[in-house]
Amino acid sequence: MKTMTMMEAIKEAMSKKMREDPNVLVFGEDVGAFGGCFGVTAGMFDEFGEERVRDTPISEGAIVGCAVGAAATGLRPIAELMFMDFLTVGMDQLVNQAAKMRYMFGGKIKLPMVVRLPLGAGISAAAQHSQSLEAWITHAPGLKVVYPSTARDAYGLLLKSIEDDNPVMFLEHKLLYGFEDELDENMDPIELGVADIKREGDDITIVATGKMVHEALAAAKTLSDEGIEAEVFDPRTLFPFDKEALFKSLEKTNMALIVTEENKRGSFAGEIAAMIVEDGFDYLDAPVKRVCAMDTPIPFSPVLEKYYLPDADDIVTAVKGMF
């Protein structure tokens, strides 16, 4: 076992796959000698060289499109977009090309590619460098969407994502890069579509993703002092989604609160709520509730940003309101 930050875990997972498979390569803005905007690829340039850890111009459409073309012709590219917000610039290449190509071509092509997407607010990066846009990509059939909350999960899920023969969107919350965890580098990859219960409890299921898993865990601690035992359910992958595990949890707790960092309107949190209401209504003793970010662009000033973001206190308040 080794203690690693999530950032190190991501780098180690990429490096491991690159050592195993010469067709795996990394490209993106400043991923080379600079080591990536957040330092995730630091050191990889020295180990693998400029052919395999490639700097690209600031051309998100080209980064995503190039990954599509490379994946369609035998490589396993890992593309890094510096901020998930920049995906909007490459959205056609992702949604109209990567997601649909296999289907439009009658299954005669495969696209083993990973797009790494740093996301999330909390560093005063304002409205164009902080968004959580998971709803936009889960909406596109053909993409898989992975969102780890711990270093261990990031490591195991990224190994699996690189092995996957489909386009995988790998979401990395910036504020979790420094999160430390123990992991065994020889661990098996983690299957996509398998949720993880981060804390067991009998009274309510809190479904949370990314950084919100940690806010939910903090909230659960406070709630426990007040006699409410919350189960913290981390789906880990948004598509495929582990519905079975979620319903198993609801069968026990009969209550559901969904917590994500997205703008609430049109969020993936709403999709989870709909899933529960449509197929798991009989498990419920109370209406499903959501705690999300506010429906505003993400503000710059720390005081406003803090107000914008959901946190453990908001979760505690919401849970109490449900009992």
Partner 1 sequence: MELTKGKIVDMYRTMKLIRDFEANASRLFAEGKIPGFVHLYIGEEAIATGVCAGLNDDDYITSTHRGHGHIIAKGGDIKYMMAELYGKATGYCKGKGGSMHIADANKGILGANGIVGAGHNIAVGAGLSAKYRGTDQVCVCFFGDGSTNQGTFHEAMNLASIWKLPVIFVCENNLYGISMHQSKHQAIQDVADRAVAYNVPGVIVDGNDVFAVYEAATEAVVRARAGQGPTLIECKTYRHQGHFEGDPAIYKSSDEVSEWMAKDPIPRMVSYLLDSDILTEKEIEGIDEEISKELEEAIKFAEESPLPSLESIVEDIYTDIVEEVR
Residue 92 binding partner 1, by CB under 8 A: yes
Residue 240 binding partner 1, by CB under 8 A: yes
Residue 66 binding partner 1, by CB under 8 A: yes
Q: Which is nearer to partner 1, 98 or 206 (CB)?
A: 98
Kindly report the backbone phi and psi dihedral angles of residue 98, in degrees, each rounded to the nearest multiple of 5, phi listed first. -50, -50
DSSP 141-188: TT-EEE---SHHHHHHHHHHHHH-SS-EEEEEEGGGTT-EEEE-TTPP
Q: Which is nearer to partner 1, 49 or 321 (CB)?
A: 49
> Of residues 3, 59, 296, 301, which one binds partner 1 by CB under 8 A?
59
> Of residues 106, 186, 278, 303, which one binds partner 1 by CB under 8 A?
106
Counting Cα atoms < 13 Å in the Cβ hemisphere of 156 gives 23
Kindly report the backbone phi and psi dihedral angles of residue 262, in degrees, each rounded to the nearest multiple of 5, phi listed first. -75, 160
Site size for partner 1, by CB under 8 A? 41
**Residue 279 C-alpha from the chain's centroid:** 24
Residue 77 binding partner 1, by CB under 8 A: yes
Within residues 5-24, the interface with partner 1 by CB under 8 A covers 23
Options 129, 139, 173, 214, the catalytic residue: 129
Residue pair 217/166 in contact (Cβ under 8 Å)? The answer is: no
**3-class DSSP assignment, residue 223:** helix
Residue 280 binding partner 1, by CB under 8 A: no
Residue 70 binding partner 1, by CB under 8 A: yes
Q: Is 214 a catalytic residue?
A: no
> Of residues 4, 6, 14, 25, which one binds partner 1 by CB under 8 A?
25
**3-class DSSP assignment, residue 319:** helix
Residue pair 115/168 in contact (Cβ under 8 Å)? The answer is: yes
Residue 73 binding partner 1, by CB under 8 A: yes
Specify the amino acid at residue 156: G
* Nearest of 239, 228, 232, 230 to residue 194 by alpha carbon: 239
Residue pair 304/125 in contact (Cβ under 8 Å)? The answer is: no
Q: Smallest distance from the beta carbon of 158 to partner 1, in angstroms?
A: 18
- DSSP bridge pairs for 182: 3
Q: Smallest distance from the beta carbon of 197 to partner 1, in angstroms?
A: 23
Residue 49 binding partner 1, by CB under 8 A: no
Give the interface with partner 1 as residue ranges (CB under 8 A): 23, 25, 51, 56-57, 59, 61-62, 64-75, 77, 92-93, 96-97, 101-110, 141-142, 144, 165-166, 240
